[in-house]
Amino acid sequence: MHFDVIILGSGPGGYIASIRAAQLGMKTAIVEKESIGGVCLNWGCIPTKSLLNSAKILQSIKKNGDLFGINHENIEINYAKIISKSRKVVDQIRKGISFLMKKNGVHVIYGNAKLKKRKRIEIFKNEKSTEEHSASHIIIATGAIPKIDEKIKYNTKKIITYKEALSLSSLPKKMIIIGSGSIGLEFAYFYHSMGTKVSIIEVCPKLYPNGDDEISDYLKRYFDKIGIENYVSSSIKKIAYKNNEVVVDVQTSFKNIELKADIILYAIGVIPNIQHIGIEEIGIQTEKGFIVVDENYRTNIGGYYAIGDVVPTPSLAHVASFEAINCVESIKGLNCHEIDYNNVPKCVYSLPEIASVGYTEKESIKKGFQIKVSKFPFSALGRAITDENTDGFVKVIFDDKYDEWLGCHMIGGHVTDLISEVVVARKLEATSYEILSSIHPHPSLSESIVESIAHAYGKAIHL
């Protein structure tokens, strides 16, 4: 069968591309080898947030129950029910996406796809069943897979990735997490909240490697306080198995230590999922494991495109979705605005949450800006005090010469929602004057943004 567009992969890049293409009147098909929604929906963004919500409710009751007049004696954790709830959420959203695709007339094909020349795709249903389709345009949106250290023998019983961590049959007593990006930090918080003794090993000198230094320092102090062990500037020298435990020799910045656990979670990142799909046979150009594309996500081979985690842009669901729309609208001949990748929000949904956009303080200085920097702590904010959620702060960075909002970095409760105001303001090139001239509701957490900016310009009232 011939289509206008065929998309490989139904994650937040692929399914968005398919729906938008269908809306624009293109005959569209999407190929998925497992479940609609890809990793993000089935084994990533969505189920982890369900688990984290359970953890936050539990910790809130334990920490503040007495203050709010709530008797919380004899709290019991039903771990199986927590996992079951996360899978029900996944199922509900998956059905919703499937409905939208059916509503828009997207043709869904299940199977393993292999790219062929002349814009054809071979679909392997099973060992004996194949079918072939063609399209005027083919979009590769196959996402990413966990990155595993090749020196370590992967063992799904003792050494796991995020996929296994989402549905362990029982709660481990001790867990070692290797890597402290968003995946590692979120699972560290969840399992710690459930009662697991958690240790994090990170090779970089910062606990939150890609974040602002002050955010990372605050997170490290917070994790130290609540009992999540963390070792930065550290590397694994050896992994062994003894008495049904995993024994890890770790070289820290000051000494060698030995850690023992029931299980190891590998969270050192992801790599593009482009193996065995015919990239090489067609001649699609790659660099450092990523597919090379232009500003409209066209590969070097006409009619073939790539979006999301398979291209060298931030590996985030919302980035893949934006790229999907731009790619499809470009195919249709519409005028598209290039994505400003410096205005992409990055979030971690642990507690405290982390959210950031734009340049860090170090990056701003390195780029030669003369900057104004300020922080406003949630401990000075009325709404945060009423909620007993005073951990963290909002940090803003402005260019002193042109009053450009260079960056914003937050750590605390609900900051993954607050960051959207900053993204829109920076998109509209708002200055400090415009933000300070905009009335924010009281009491609200959004006041922290105004107060932080006011403090940078010597106008703070509450600090």
280-313 burial: b if 16+ Cβ within 10 Å, else e: eebebebeeebbebeeebbbebeebbbbbbbbeb
Amino acid at 360: T
Q: Give CA 392 to chain center in angstroms.
A: 20
Q: Count the alpha carbons within 13 Å of 360 in the hemisphere toward its beta carbon.
A: 14
Tokens at 234, concatenated: 């550290």
Q: Which two tokens stand for residue 374?
A: 């300020």
Strand partners, 286: 291
Rounded CA-CA distance 314/297 in Å is 14
In DSSP terms, which residues pair with 376 in a beta bridge? 394
442 is catalytic: yes
Pick the catalytic residue from 72, 133, 318, 442: 442
> Can you tell me the distance from the alpha carbon of 455 to that of 331, in angstroms, rounded to the nearest whole number?
47
> 93 near 46, Cβ under 8 Å?
yes
Q: Which residues pair with 393 in a beta bridge?
A: 377, 411
With beta carbons less than 8 A apart as the criterion, state whether 301 and 198 touch. Answer: no
Contact 122, 135 (CB under 8 A): no
The torsion region of residue 429 among left (phi > 0), alpha (psi -120 to 50) and beta comes to: left
Distance CA 121, CA 112 (A): 10
Q: Known catalytic residues?
A: 442
